[in-house]
Structure 1
Amino acid sequence: MPSQTVFRLTSRSGFDGLQAFEEPIPTPGQYEVLVKVRSVSLNYREVSIANSRYPLPVKDNVIPCSDMAGEIVQVGDRVKGLSAGDRVLSALSDQMLYGPFNAAYDTYGSSQDGMLQQYIALPAHGVIKLPDTSHTLTQWAAVACTGATVWNSFYGGIPLKPGDRVLLQGTGGVSLTALTFARAAGAVTIITSSSDEKLEYVQSKFGADHTINYKTHPNWEAEVLRVTNGEGVDHVIEIGGEATIRQSIEAVTHGGVISLVGFLGGRPEGDKPDLTMMALLKNCCVRGIVGGSKQLLEQAVRFVGRRGLMIPIDRTFGYSRDEIIAALEYVAAGKQIGKVCINLD
């Protein structure tokens, strides 16, 4: 039986638990497709899982990673609408087809095996056929989870409108994807970072309208209010979590939206503010975002394809244990400007 190289987390106390195994190439069931994985994109989620900080269930010896773009090499007997040779994208879960996330859903790379393998059999209903564009499969892999997350943030609730102001925290994959989508939708963008060099690059390369160094301006919410003439922003992509949510509420306009996407800031010391009262007085919507449904990802893919958008990719790594660990360490250190991908070719 033909075999493939897969990577599993044999322990969750760091990246050293990542080990390579030779396993059979799966045979697709009658409603499945066999996909040759071409590129896998990384999220901070993989770092959290490897270090036992992920808040949702993770199976033992899991194959990491949820985001994949590849080519179908075989289809099950009962599959319709997909053929060998089609380029496809994976969704976070083959159970979350539409509607909000439910903690009971299995998700790739955590409660079920993920994409860090050369071939994977997937339910046909869970993959998205990619449009015929000039995008490479690496560029499409960068759209998967972050694209669905950002689309959910902007259009899963109160929708983003042309002329809205959007605040983006940091220069990672979610924030740079949000910057790309927001600019294409006609929004005014404000992005934060601790690095002037990163901010200058993002402004010159990707067209951010305003930049704020949160080291230089620790009370960065005041800077947001300054550049918005005291009005605040309509949407916040909240990455820091508990460490930054107070400032995000201060920065959002009355009736604005804060999309809680990440928890990178850890837990702050000292007294905690009354966030309930702050949100109430701002009359703002605070939404928890766990990825996005297949339906939302399909909409994001259509937007990217028709507008010819390119999600920023900072760096790509090869498909070896050393390279994958180096990629995870790079993401963990927060060095990237945009997405980080593993290429299997």
Structure 2
Amino acid sequence: MSTTQTVYRLTIKDGIDGIHPYQEPIPSISPYEVLVKVHAVSLNYRDIAIATSKYLLPARNEVVPTSDMCGEVVEVGSLVTNLAVGDAVIPPVTPDYLYGDFREGDDAFGSVKDGMLREYVVLPAHILIKVRVGKGRLGYAEWASIVCTGATAWNSFYGGKKLAPGDTVFIQGTGGVSIASLVIAKAAGATTIISSSSDEKLKYVKSLGADHVVNYKTHPHWAAEVHRITNGRGVDHIIENGGLGTIEQSLECIAGSGIISVIGFLAEGGEKQPAVLIPTLIKAATVRGVRGGSKHQLEELVKFLGNKDVDVAVNKVFSFSKEGIVDAYKFVEAGKHIGKVVISLDKQ
């Protein structure tokens, strides 16, 4: 094995085009660490927000971008007992958020800590989760695609009020968290409603098992359409990706004792009005901020997926090259994706 590797770093002032390759040493491991060969990295909207200076939390200049990776253990520290050479592994997004309630701060990979856009990464053995990669199973690209979005969706459904069979879920959009939410909700026995401005994307999510779809351009008052679909009852869970531009309609169509999981801030428009708090009080609904998930929640998701016959939607795979990485970022930035976009180190 070579002693050097290709590592990409981000010069934030230059935007997406500021992602550049460097040759750096492959670091050595301590007795409690492992060396992982990266096979696949998946992108989140968070990665695009960091690269375009739209991220709401701290980000370090010249950081190695991205947090979501699936790779193979190629070297094991002398005191590591839970992993072996050849194991396929994924890390959580935040290495210090392992169990329990969310702890404020942002020491996640790809923003403050160097991330995964490189050939090899040294990681503490205790943060890694083993997954099964092979024929008839999810591959490196699929496992990389569930790290952040899957843990976020799982946290939304099981970190607060737990999703139950027969519940109705409304999911905004068709990005990574949305598709992960659809997959989990369907496998858990829920009725699913998903929205998009694209009939083509809605046709695709119907093929993934969505029970109902709503085009929010055709139905700008989409809360009324959700009420029509649910016979006036509303929905038990909402995956809220829009922020101020959508929260009032989410509050309008949440059912009694329902929960709105606030994931993103993608929609434009909307004014901050105290009046939006009134339906929360009337319906005893919960509006809950969700920032990813813990290692424990990711482990629960891995176990759940291992017992279900599900597909993880990988929309497009790009190569591990300057051109491929920039194209992947711009593809996600343009909103062309449905589900996940992956950079594969096996696709050269």
TM-score, structure 2 normalization: 0.96
Q: Post-superposition shift, 1:89?
A: 0.6
Q: Post-superposition shift, 1:269?
A: 4.8
Task: Quote the residue 1:308 is aligned against.
Answer: 309
Task: Quote the residue 2:130 is aligned against.
Answer: 129
Corresponding residue to 2:258 among 256, 259, 270: 256
Q: Post-superposition shift, 1:271?
A: 6.9
Q: What is the aligned-residue identity percentage?
A: 51
> In the alignment, is residue 161 of structure 1 matched against residue 164 of structure 2?
yes
Cα shift readout 1:190-212 (whole Å, capped 9, x = no counterpart): 00000112111211x20111000
Q: Post-superposition shift, 1:254?
A: 1.1
Where do 4+ consecutive residues of structure 1 move more than 3 Å?
269-273
Corresponding residue to 1:206 among 203, 208, 220: 208
Alpha-carbon distance in structure 1 between the residues aligned to 2:97 and 2:50: 20
Question: Residues 271 and 175 of structure 1: is their aligned pair in 2 closer, same or farther, counting only changes over 3 Å?
Answer: closer
Cα shift readout 1:70-127 (whole Å, capped 9, x = no counterpart): 0000011111110111000111111100123323351100110000000000011111
Q: Post-superposition shift, 1:132?
A: 5.9
Q: Which amino acid aligns with 1:165?
A: T
Question: Residues 12 and 306 of structure 1: is their aligned pair in 2 closer, same or farther, counting only changes over 3 Å?
Answer: farther
Task: Quote the residue 1:333 is aligned against.
Answer: 334
Corresponding pairs, count: 343
Tell me the secondary structure at the aligned position of residue 307 of structure 2: helix
Tell me the secondary structure at the aligned position of residue 23 of structure 1: strand
Task: Quote the residue 2:243 is aligned against.
Answer: 241
CA contact (8 A) 1:315 1:341 kept: yes
Q: Which amino acid aligns with 1:209?
A: D
CA contact (8 A) 1:165 1:235 kept: yes
Cα shift readout 1:211-249 (whole Å, capped 9, x = no counterpart): 000000000011001100010000000011111111111
Alpha-carbon distance in structure 2 between the residues aligned to 1:111 and 1:166: 34
Tell me the secondary structure at the aligned position of residue 307 of structure 1: coil
Q: Which amino acid aligns with 2:12?
A: S
Q: Which amino acid aligns with 1:145?
A: C
Task: Quote the residue 1:87 is aligned against.
Answer: 88
Alpha-carbon distance in structure 2 between the residues aligned to 1:157 and 1:270: 27
Q: Post-superposition shift, 1:308?
A: 2.9
CA contact (8 A) 1:232 1:251 kept: yes
Q: Post-superposition shift, 1:273?
A: 5.5
> In the alignment, is residue 180 of structure 1 matched against residue 183 of structure 2?
yes
Task: Quote the residue 1:4 is aligned against.
Answer: 5
Cα shift readout 1:31-63 (whole Å, capped 9, x = no counterpart): 111000000010000010001111111112111
Corresponding residue to 1:139 among 135, 139, 142: 142
CA contact (8 A) 2:41 2:343 kept: yes
CA contact (8 A) 1:179 1:208 kept: yes
Cα shift readout 1:243-270 (whole Å, capped 9, x = no counterpart): 111111111101100001111114x255
* Segment drifting more, 116-125 vs 278-287: 278-287
CA contact (8 A) 2:176 2:340 kept: yes
Alpha-carbon distance in structure 1 between the residues aligned to 2:43 and 2:155: 19
Alpha-carbon distance in structure 2 between the residues aligned to 1:120 and 1:316: 21
Tell me the secondary structure at the aligned position of residue 170 of structure 2: strand
TM-score, structure 1 normalization: 0.97
Alpha-carbon distance in structure 1 between the residues aligned to 2:37 and 2:326: 22
Gaps of 5+ in 2: none
CA contact (8 A) 1:95 1:105 kept: no
